[in-house]
Amino acid sequence: MGKQVDARGLSCPQPVILARKAISEGNFPIEVTVDTVTSRENVRRMAENSGCRVGVEAAGDEFKLIITQ
């Protein structure tokens, strides 16, 4: 089923730390919801550097990152 990480309202590096923990658990796909462009880019970069693929969907003022292996 995967894992959902709600990182809305958190400032960096918290969204990155939560996403990294979810990646290490290996329960893909991982859906990370953030509410800033900075968090979106930092989580995306960390996931790609970890060898994952990342899809990004914008939903209003929020972003949903779908992380897969």
Look at the block and give the residue holding tokens 């939560």.
18
Domain count, the chain: 1
Please compute the mean of the pLDDT values over residues 23-45 and round it to a whole number: 97
Section 10-39 average pLDDT: 96
The pLDDT-based confidence of 59 (bands split at 50, 70, 90) is confident
CATH of residue 11's domain is 3.30.110.40
Q: Give the domain range for residue 29.
A: 3-68
Identify the residue whose tokens are 């292996």: 69
What is the pTM (predicted TM-score) of this model?
A: 0.95
Helix/strand/coil (H/E/C) assignment for every residue in the chain: CCEEEECCCCCCCHHHHHHHHHHHHCCCCEEEEECCHHHHHHHHHHHHHCCCEEEEEEECCEEEEEEEC
- Per-residue pLDDT, 41: 97
Confidence check: pLDDT of 23 > 80: yes
Whether the predicted pLDDT of 64 surpasses 90: yes
